[in-house]
Amino acid sequence: MIVVTTDSISGYKVTETIGIARGNTIRAKHIGKDILASFRMLIGGEIKEYTEMLTEARNAALQRMEWDAQNLGADAVINMRFVTSQVMSGAAELLAYGTAVKLEKID
């Protein structure tokens, strides 16, 4: 599955637009990691616990979006984007979405 943030893919032409492919996940850290993150906020620097959580969430959302695109019969996803939103205190949703398309290789 080719996934790009652009509206075209070099060497290919879009032959069919299938629709929106999407994948999401909702993540929260457990209380121990939240306490560590709170201490890091006091002294400054990277909050590694949340960096790790968001990296895992992006990877899961991206993989689920690719599965959705495959189920739609797509060869690629163009204009892929990530969006995040707070669902509740301490929990965030990360959504990956883009346009599922069929491709043809250009000679």
Give the model's pLDDT for residue 35: 63
Residue at 53: amino acid letter: M
pLDDT surpasses 70 at 41 = no
Structure confidence by residue, pLDDT tens digits, 4-38: 999 999 999 999 999 999 999 998 866 555 566 66
Residue 26's beta-bridge partner residues? Answer: 93
Count of domains for the chain = 1
Domain with 38 in it: what CATH number?
3.30.110.70
pTM of the predicted protein model: 0.85
Q: How many CB atoms lie within 10 A of CB 97?
A: 19
Residue numbers of the domain that contains 48: 2-105
Average pLDDT of the chain?
A: 89
